[in-house]
Amino acid sequence: QVRLVESGGGLVQAGGSLRLSCAASGSIFSIGDMGWYRQAPGNQRELVALIAVAGSTTYADSAKGRVTISRDNAENMVYLQMNSLKPEDTDIYYCGAVIRATSTSPFNMYWGQGTQVTVSS
């Protein structure tokens, strides 16, 4: 059983910073891309930032310059440093990762339970 657990969300004032963390655990053979996504109730989940195993990154236009994604492959962790937060960054943030549970299983997408980020004006 693969599990992703996020932490680090909360309430912050506009202009502040938050660092989100996500830990992958359980039956894991290998992890591919890891990313952070955001979703408001009734809306589609959208990409914030993505990081490949080798470290190459992709950011949503709204996140560029304010957000940094990083990962620790030895610890199966992915992080999202968010600076200069704005009220429009308020959302539930989800960690997602493409994971192979065994050497013979395909890569599947797994999601965390989400962590609330609220930015007050």
Q: What angle do CA 65, 38, 90 make, to 5 degrees?
A: 75
Residues 80/71, Cβ–Cβ less than 8 Å = no
> Can you give the pLDDT at residue 100?
97
Cα separation, 49 vs 77, whole angstroms: 14
Provide the pairing of β-strand 30-39 with 46-51: antiparallel
Task: Map tokens 């059983």 to a residue.
Answer: 1
Whole-angstrom CA distances from 109 to 9, 65, 71, 118 are 22, 27, 17, 26
pLDDT digits (tens, 9 = 90+) for 37-84: 999 889 999 999 999 999 999 999 999 999 999 999 999 999 999 999
Mean pLDDT over each residue of the chain, to the nearest integer: 96
Place of tokens 């560029």: 64
